[in-house]
Amino acid sequence: MVDIAVEKPFISLQNQKERLEFAKTHKMKTDNFWKKVIFSDESKFKIFGSDGHRTVWRKPNTALDPKNLHPTVKHGSGSVMVWGHMASNGQDNDSKHTARNVKMWRLFHCKQQLHIQPQSPDINVIENLWATLEIAVQKHQIRNKAHLKQVLEEEWDKISPDTTKKLVESVPRRLEDIKTKGHATRY
């Protein structure tokens, strides 16, 4: 059987060791511990399309049907970089919690920082949230950067606390990369 190889970040021997050490150090942490962790990261969202692959289900001989095409533009169309954070209980989007100065205060005054190892998007659950957000954004006909920003905010606000709770609850299972000796996991 011939199949397409799964794409995962390259993990050097040093990163494998660090991932394994991280997993060993944190594998016994309780759900209560993970509920208190704030996961943060940045992501790029493009106005026109995605950097990822798009799959379509189509009938034979319909590859060039417009509904089955993934149009491209020659020189890109611009993008927006987004920094976000999430926790088990999500984000209630109350303005006093979303103000820029509050976000910056959180970043610099957290009592303890958890440093997830390089090349480890499978451990940082916000990566899954970015993927969910990307899928939601692609359902819109984005006209320009301002519209993209608006749609990103609207779709981010629709993410339920149940979604973030389930992602955070998956962290202990993600740390099973101990079994893979620091290699990529299924996440």
**Considering only 3-12, 15-24, 112-121, 137-146, which range has the smallest mean pLDDT?**
112-121
* CA–CA distance, 47 with 17 (Å, rounded to integer): 38
* 169's tokens: 């609850």
* Secondary structure letter of residue 7 according to DSSP: P
46-69 pLDDT, tens digit per residue, is: 887 655 556 667 788 887 777 776
Q: What 3-state class would DSSP assign to 45?
A: strand
Buried b / exposed e along 61-84 (16+ C-beta atoms within 10 A): eeeeeeeeeeeeeeeeeeebebeb
Q: What 3-state class would DSSP assign to 46?
A: strand
Tell me the mean pLDDT in the region 96-112.
62
* 108's tokens: 């610099």
141-163 pLDDT, tens digit per residue, is: 888 899 999 999 999 999 999 99
**Considering only 21-30, 106-115, 137-146, 153-162, which range has the smallest mean pLDDT?**
106-115
* CA–CA distance, 157 with 175 (Å, rounded to integer): 29
Q: Is 137's pLDDT higher than 90?
A: yes
Amino acid at 142: I
Q: pLDDT value at position 146?
A: 92
* 138's tokens: 């692609």
- Contact yes or no for 182/19 (Cβ under 8 A): yes
